[in-house]
């Protein structure tokens, strides 16, 4: 039993740099606020809360764990969109049995994301929202995939692309360094570079 608990000491032993924490906060704040403002006119408060919950989990990944394979654009966008499609189909097939429908939607969304290499854990919530959301969500049908899901995923991605590449110490997507163009557009220019 002692060995079991010792393994948890090894997780996150290195504290993050303060600038990294600040950029994560800024990105998630701007990302979630943008989604809420963009969708508040169409979705009611109840549905907006559900949708924001799913994208809140995505924000943790794309702003706080930017190098995770689960946070990359293919996973963020593909995972949400495919899961939304699965959720809508699940509701259309099993709308009279929400217990079965909920389980089927989440399990199938995981299966589809794994098969397409787009695994993004918040996608499970996106599929579930298509099932458990209000009548407004159900009336959207497959439009739910485009609005609010695809638009929300793209909003998070665009803000992640901007915020995560302002600092010279962060880059997103993983393996691509856009920040050299944002901070230092002219070769040899070091203007404002030390601020970040």
Output the pLDDT for position 184: 52
Output the pLDDT for position 169: 87
Nearest to 145 by CA among 97, 100, 112: 112
Output the pLDDT for position 1: 74
Nearest to 162 by CA among 34, 55, 15, 18: 34
**pLDDT tens digits for the chain (196 residues)?**
777 777 666 666 667 789 999 999 999 999 999 999 999 887 878 888 888 889 999 999 999 999 999 999 999 999 999 999 999 999 999 999 999 999 999 999 999 999 999 999 999 999 999 999 999 999 999 999 999 999 999 999 999 999 999 988 899 999 887 665 555 555 544 443 333 3
Helix-then-strand count for the chain, H and E: 10, 0
Q: Helix crossing, 45-59 with 122-132: angle to 10°?
A: 170
Tell whether the torsion through CA atoms of 41, 25, 180 and 58 is positive or negative: negative
Output the pLDDT for position 11: 64
Output the pLDDT for position 48: 87
Q: Is 19 exposed, middle or buried (0-12, 13-18, 19+ CB in 10 A)?
A: middle
Output the pLDDT for position 182: 53
């Amino acid at each position: 039993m002692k060995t079991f608990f010792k393994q948890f000491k090894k997780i996150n032993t290195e504290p993050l740099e303060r600038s990294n924490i600040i950029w994560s906060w800024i990105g998630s704040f701007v990302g979630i606020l943008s989604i809420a403002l963009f969708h508040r006119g169409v979705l009611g408060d109840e549905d907006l809360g559900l949708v924001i919950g799913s994208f809140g989990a995505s924000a943790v990944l794309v702003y706080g764990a930017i190098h995770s394979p689960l946070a990359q654009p293919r996973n963020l966008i593909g995972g949400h969109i495919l899961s939304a499609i699965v959720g809508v189909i699940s509701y259309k097939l099993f709308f009279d049995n929400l217990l079965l429908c909920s389980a089927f939607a989440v399990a199938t969304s995981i299966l589809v994301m794994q098969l397409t290499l787009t695994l993004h854990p918040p996608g499970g919530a996106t599929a579930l929202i298509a099932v458990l959301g209000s009548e407004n969500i159900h009336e959207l049908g497959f439009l739910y995939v485009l609005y609010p899901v695809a638009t929300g995923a793209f909003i998070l991605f665009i803000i992640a692309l901007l915020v995560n590449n302002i600092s010279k110490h962060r880059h997103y997507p993983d393996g691509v360094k856009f920040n050299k163009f944002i901070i230092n557009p002219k070769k040899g220019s070091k203007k404002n570079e030390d601020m970040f």
